[in-house]
Each structure stands twice: as structure tokens, then as C-alpha cells.
Chains A and B, each alone.
Chain A
Amino acid sequence: MQSSLFKNYVWLGMGLALALLGMLVLAPLLIVFGTSLYTDQKLDLLAPLQIIRQSELSEVLFNSIWLGLCVIAATTVLAFPLAWIMAKTPLRRHKWLDIVLLIPFMTPPYIGSMGWMLFMQTNGYMEQFIPASKAITPAFFSFGGMVAIMSLHLFPFLYLLLRNALLQIGGSMEEAAAVHGGGFLYRLRRIVLPLLLSSYVMGSLLIFVKTIAEFGTPATFGRKIGFYVMTSEIHKYISSWPIDFGKATSLASVLLAACLVMWYIQSTISSRYSYRLVGGKGAIKQTATMSRWGRILCSLYIGVLLLASIGIPYFSIITASLLKLRGVGLAWDNLTLQHYVELLTPGSSSLNALLNSFGLSIVASTIAVVLGTWFALTVQRSRTPGQKLVDLFSLLPNTVPGIVIVVGLILLWNAKWMPIPLYNTYGMVVLTYVILFLPYTVQYVKASYGQIDPMLLQAGQVFGGRRLYVLRRILLPLLLPGMLAGWMMTFTISNRELVASLLVLPPSMKTSATYIFAQFEQGEVSMGMAMAVISVGITTVLLLAMNVFSSQQKVE
């Protein structure tokens, strides 16, 4: 069944992949886990369980899981129509939307939450515009508001996966159904949805994991409404006196277990419902014909979505970055560009932080794409136990709160016996980013690979193509969109990574995210917001440029 393309290298590649993942991902986690078993210098295998019993964990765990499920539901509602519009209607020619929709994802979650809070709070921007809104704004500070904020932040992720999958379902299958008399709803139910299921399950799993491993929003918004989740508890044990790694790691193990259950469900579903869609026959890109009203409705949907996910938070963020005095509020004579001038002064620590961030992210995402593609090709359709292990390990960083991995990495790379002096260097930061964001490339490439029919590779061989030739001319070009998406994701997220950066950056070194965080801690909110605007702005421009470049390549 499987092509013999890699047969000889499979075992070697698998062994290497497992060894590398073992060192990069598994070892730090094992060290953390080991630490959680050692209480008071002696081994106690039951320590995690006891801590979990003591610390009123059930409520917090329930909160986490419930939040994750609600965010899946909300992101689905937001992302599905959008994916359909951007794959099947004439509106899909607006390619810039893909980049713009990454903006919520590029925004550090705690910045986004702060934007919402500044907008909705008592005497906030909304009340300053419309005093009558006082009646509704308090309702926002609730569980529903938290789900809304997190979903508006995460939905682009699900959208990209769904849209790519929809594009892969070539028009021909739907056309065939239509020719045989299938109506729109019938085609949706019997063809599109089943074919989408695998991508959807994968996407929603990642949404779930991102949600329950997220720290920024619970730390800002959740704390305000008294909604506590696992990550905020873990962070408490790990960053406030007295530090208790034992408790933190015990909680992390529970979080990990919850995620593994989800992973198991996902892999069962997706292995049962995955189909090969990219065949040799040219796929006809079918565009639904659309009435004027339909078009207006779709545009309206996109408009409202952009307003809620970008417009409102960025209105707050930009406004806050322009205010002379935050206590005075919205007034023309209270606006200034001074913070931007200060931020971009040559030689300033803020400019250095900005450049640091970009340098680190570019290096990290490039390494991550190379490793991630390799692992994804090793995993393939995850049939053998070895493949399943690679799959699991490469997904682990996404299922464990970043802070736990980072602690493990520090324990490992700063150990007395460690011969490679990586700790307290740039290399350590790059390594941390690569490990944390590896799952993105793996997922994207896996999704692309899963839909390539092996017949294509076999055809290449039948016509005398050698392995490398087939790899270079058939497989890689087909995987490229997935790799590019993985690179972009990794670049974007590592550019705004906060929790890890706080812990592994060498002293005296800052990234834009740690700079922003420090400004908030120091009460220089305007400076922090200005930095957020600039770093997200530059990332967006870079991605736009890359997008233009890659679409030009396609034309050639």
C-alpha cells in the first residue's frame, strides 16, 4: 500500500527522529516529572496524586476543560462560514484576508484581553463614546466574555485548516454529485462534511489544547472575573514565593493527561476518516455562483468578524499607545506620538528588543520547519507504533503548558553535567522556541501529506524517477504550502512568545514581548501598547510581502 519510496530509510529515519524528539521534548518533561515525584528529598510516587487531591483541583480542572469545549464551539461557529466563503465563493480572491486574519493570532493574548478590558470596563472607551452602554458593559465581564475573547483570538487557526481542506476537496467530487442529482445540502452532508472531518477534528483538538494551555487571558481577564484555570494555578506555584515545582508539575501532569485523552480521540477519528484527495487529475476549482445579496451577506459577515477580532482590540491598543495621560481619557489634545518616537530611538533598549525578536523568530521558525517536516513525513498516517510515538512526542509541546516545558529545558540544559553550554545564550532561546512551536509545522505538513495520494509518488517512480527526484519534484512542491503555513505560524508566535522568553532569555537581553510585559509591570502601559502595535505591524507587513512573493512564484 505505502509506496516503497522511503522504505529503506524508514527505520533509520524513525530511530533518529525518536532519538531527537526524546532529547528535545521528552527529556525536559521527564525531568520535570521526576522533580514532581521528589518531595523533601525522597521519592514519592504518589506525590502528584496527593497534591491534586489537596489543592481543590477538581474545580479548576473542570473550569479548564469546560472553557476548552466552549472555545471549540465558538471558534467553529466563527471559522466554518468564513472558511466556506474563502474557499467557495467569489470573495476568495481577497487573499489579503488570510494575512489580516493572522493579526489576532499575532497579538499576544494578554494584550488582546487588555484591549477588550480597556474597551468594555467602567469608564472605558465604549462608555466614553456611548454613555448609555453602561447598562450592558458589565455583562461582558463574565465567562461568556472570556470565551468570546479567546475564540476571537484562536479562530483564524481553525479557519486556515478548514479552508485548506475545503480547497483540497476539488470541485470534481461535488460536481460528480451534482451531476447525479445531489442538492446542495445533500452534497454538504455526504461529501464535504465527511471529507472535512479529519481536518476539523485536528483543528479543534489544537484549539482545545491552546485554550487550556493558554496563560495570558486567564491571567488578565480570568483573574478579574474570578475564573481560575489550571495554567493560572501552575503559574502561581512557579512564579510566586514560595516556589513549588512539585505542585506545579503535578498539576501539569493532570493537564497533560487531559490532553492525551483528546489526542487519542482525535487520532482515532482522523485515521478512520482520512481520504486522499490530491490525485493526479487536475482539480477544478469550483466557484459557487452567487447572487448580489449573497455577496453582500458574506461581505457583511467578514466585516463584522474583522471588527470584533481586530477592530475593537486594536482600537483600544492603538488608542492606549497614543494617550498622553490615561487618566484623562479620549480627547484630541490628549493624543501624542511621543511613545513611538521614544520606542524607535536608535540605540534604545526598545529597538534592540524589537530586532532581537525578529532575529530569534526567523532562525527558530526556519529550524522548526526543517525538523517539523521531517517528523511529519516520519509520522505519515501514523500506523505503526513508532509512527504513533513520533506523532505523540512532536505534539507534546502543544499539550503541555509552555512554562512547564521551559522549566524542564532549564533543568536539563543548565544541569551540571550538561556538556553543551547552551544556557544563557541566544541558542537556548532558539531551542526553546523550536521545541515549543514544532507541533505547528508537524500538523500543517501532516495535513498536507495526508491528502496526497501515494499513487502520485508511485507514478513518479514508474516513470523512472529516483527517490530524491520524486521527493524534490512531487512531494516537496505539494507539501510546500503546509511548510510555508508552518513557518509563518512559528514565526508569528515566537515573535510574541512571552512566558518562555521571560525565563530563558539571557540577562540583559529583551524581546519585544518581554519588553511589553516589563512596561506593564512598570506602569508604562502606553509604551507597551506602542511596542505591540509596532511589532504586530511589522510582522503583518513581512507576511504580506512573503505572500505576494510566493504568489508571484506560482504564476511563473
Chain B
Amino acid sequence: MKLAKKGMMLALTAFMGVSLAGCGTAASNGQASSEASASPSAPAASTAAEQPQQTEVKLSGSVVVYSAGPEGLANKIKEGFEAKTGVKVEMFQGTTGKILARMEAEKSNPAVDVLVLASLPAMQGLKEEGILMSYPEAANADKLIADWSDKDGQYFSYSASALGIVYNTKLVQTPPASWADLAKPEWNGKVNIPDPSLSGSALDFISGYLSASGDSGWSLFESYKQNGVAMAGANQEALDPVITGAKSVVAAGVDYMAYKAKAAGEPVDIVYPKEGSVISPRPAAIVGTAKNADNAKAFIDYLLSDDAQQMVTGAYLLPGRSDVEAKDRASVDEIPTFNVNWQWMNENSDSVTTKFTQLFK
């Protein structure tokens, strides 16, 4: 009773705040959005002139981007791009799965111009379906880490994250040093692993590990299952219980989320086991049906520009360009990786997901 009352009071005060604030913003906001497209784009003209390639295109209008997180980064990139080019970005944010679902539903009449995903195999799949647009002349594409992007210029991995063992520093004094450690009795019931059907990066880890270690690789996951490792939703859902102390460890946790939580002061940290891990590139691409192709190309250029790459490092992600350094986190050469086979992973992602989720159900 008392608690409910307390909640009501809080809600009431909050309501007063909103109703007052609400009046002021509704009008001014509508104005802002209509003005945004009309604003002159002096900086855009100057940068376009600097770029060595192609005839100069005066950009205007909008571009529709479907973007997988992190949200803060996506918003920054959107604002930066709008300020630079004067093109309005219509952005839909969701997980890789939600974006693909939306595309599938819109199949007969696609709305999207640019895709930013968090999973390389998914993008490879789209390439095989032949629905991506080739853009080999993208500015700075030559500086990208070659292994992560498409040789034909159909997708560009502008950033990446690595997978590691994320742990709660209040509950764990000596973090596990190897993937096999998590099968030991001391970790019984204390470990989460993200669901590969919901987390592209977790799938990258599992299929990457299997592609490097062959069929015997399954024994690791079988021993996990026997040790009470719980399959727990997408990345953040797997990490949250570790932050609050309900679990101690995430196996195959995404590192940038851990770095971000750690920087905020939460009691978490991450280790990369010595025997290796997987780095999961995050690709962007233009869709073949893009109605705003010029704007879309400019958006890809922007993702690979110095400005956007700095934003990427600010979000604790690995930059996609080899000449940009990672910030406040382990860099690519500090993370030991398996010798993974992306082609095999792409071909087998479906069966790996099925087998893994069956095992952990």
C-alpha cells in the first residue's frame, strides 16, 4: 500500500514536470526539423571539393538509415552528418535482427538507403542475395582493415567489437584466464552467455570458435551446459545480471558495453583469454534499391571519415580504419584472436545457432 502510494506521488510530481515542459517544446521542435533540411551546407561544399574523386554533387533531401546500436554513437554520427552535409537523416534504430525483419516486411517496396549492422555474416548473407549496391570508390575505403570489409566494395566495416569474459569485480577476485575455466565447478551457475539467435556477436564468437577448432569445439559448449551456464538474451540482457550481481560472469560478452559500464563506475571488467577470441566487425552498406543513392554514398564516406572514426573510438569500439587508434580500451593487436573462417561461419551460422540453442534450452 505504502509503496504504491509513494509511486503515485512520484508519478504525480513527474507529471507536473512533463506537462509544463511539454508545452514549450512541441512547437519549437517541429520548426527545427523543417529548417534542418533547408539550412545551407557550406562545410559540405568545401569537403566535397577536397575529395579527389567524382563529379561534385550538391546534396540535399534526406537519407533513410537503419542502424544497429550503440544508440549514442548512431545519434552522434547522424548529427555530425547532418551538420556537415545538410542532408536530413531518417534513422531507425534496432538490433540487427529487427532491422532485417523490417527489411523483409518492406521487401516489395523498400524504404531504406543505408544499413548499419552489428553482424558481418548477416551482411555477407545480404550480399549473396544481391541486394547491396557496390561503392568501391568510397573515400578512405583503402584505409579500412581489409579482412573485415568486402573486396567488391559492397560493405564497409567502419567499426568492430571484440568478445571476452566480462566479470563483476565485487564478486570475482581472480578472473578466469581461459574459456575452458568457465567449465570448472567454482563457476557453477554463475555464468551467462548471450543467445546467438539474438546476439550477432555471440554467434560470431561461437561459430568463430567452431570454425577454428573443428567439430571438437562443441565439447567446450557441452561442458558449459553441464556447468549451468545460462543462455540469456541479447548482449545487454546477459550483461545486466552481472552488473547487478545476480551472476558473476558473461562468457562471450561484447567488450564495448563492458568498457562503457566500467567507465560509468559499475563494478565490471573484461579479460580476453590468451588462447584467442573473435573480433566481430560491424559493417555498413548501401541497399541496391536506395532512392537517395548520392546521400547514401555521402553517408558511407562520412562513416569512414576522421570525424566519425573518432566518434567510434569514443564509444569504446575498435575503429574500422587501420590508421585510427583505439581509445581507452584494448586495441586490435592486443587482443589474441582465433584463426577464424568467415566464409564457413556465414555458411554455418544457421545450423550453429540451432544446435547451440537446442543444447542450452
Contact = CB atoms under 8 A, between A and B. Distances in A.
Contacts of B247: 122
Contacts, number: 206
A537 B90 contact: no
Contacts of B100: 239-241, 243
Contact of B7 (A220, A310, A329): A310
A311 B15 contact: no
A427 B75 CA distance: 25
B8 A347 contact: no
Contact of B15 (A306, A315, A508, A541): A541
A522 B18 contact: no
Nearest to A346: B25
Given A121-B244, A241-B349, A523 B260 contact: yes
B61 interface: no
Given A239-B98, A243-B101, A537 B106 contact: no
B288 interface: no
A327 B170 contact: yes
A502 B105 CA distance: 12
A521 B168 CA distance: 19
A536 B15 CA distance: 10
A537 B15 CA distance: 7
Contacts of A52: none
Interface in B5-19: 6-8, 10-12, 14-15, 17-18
B3 A118 contact: no
Nearest to A521: B236
B15 A240 contact: no
A548 to B, nearest CB: 14
Interface string A132-169: 00000000000000000000000000000000000000
Interface in A491-544: 502-503, 505-508, 518, 520-523, 525, 533-534, 536-538, 540-541
B109 A124 contact: no
Interface residues of B, number: 85
Contacts of B121: 241
A223 B241 CA distance: 14
Given A307-B1, A310-B4, A352-B25, A536 B11 contact: yes
Contact of A306 (B4, B6, B69, B246): B4
A329 B245 contact: yes
Contacts of B14: 340, 344, 533-534, 537-538
A318 B236 CA distance: 20
Interface residues of A, number: 73
A523 B239 contact: yes
Interface of A: 100, 103, 118, 121-124, 219-220, 223-224, 226, 228, 236, 238-243, 245, 303, 306-307, 310-312, 314-315, 318, 324-329, 340, 344-347, 349, 351-352, 354-355, 407, 410-411, 414-416, 423-424, 502-503, 505-508, 518, 520-523, 525, 533-534, 536-538, 540-541
28 contacts: A103-B4, A121-B241, A122-B246, A122-B247, A123-B244, A223-B195, A239-B97, A239-B98, A241-B122, A242-B350, A245-B104, A310-B7, A311-B2, A312-B3, A318-B6, A318-B10, A327-B168, A327-B170, A327-B266, A407-B105, A410-B106, A414-B111, A415-B109, A416-B108, A507-B90, A520-B237, A523-B260, A523-B261
Complex A-B, nearest 9 residue pairs according to Cβ-Cβ distance, in ascending order = A537-B11, A123-B245, A507-B92, A410-B105, A240-B97, A507-B90, A311-B3, A121-B246, A327-B267
Interface of B: 1-4, 6-8, 10-12, 14-15, 17-18, 21-22, 24-26, 28-29, 64-66, 69-72, 75, 89-98, 100-102, 104-106, 108-109, 111, 119, 121-122, 125, 168, 170, 195, 197-198, 200, 230-234, 236-237, 239-241, 243-247, 257, 260-261, 264-268, 349-350, 353, 361
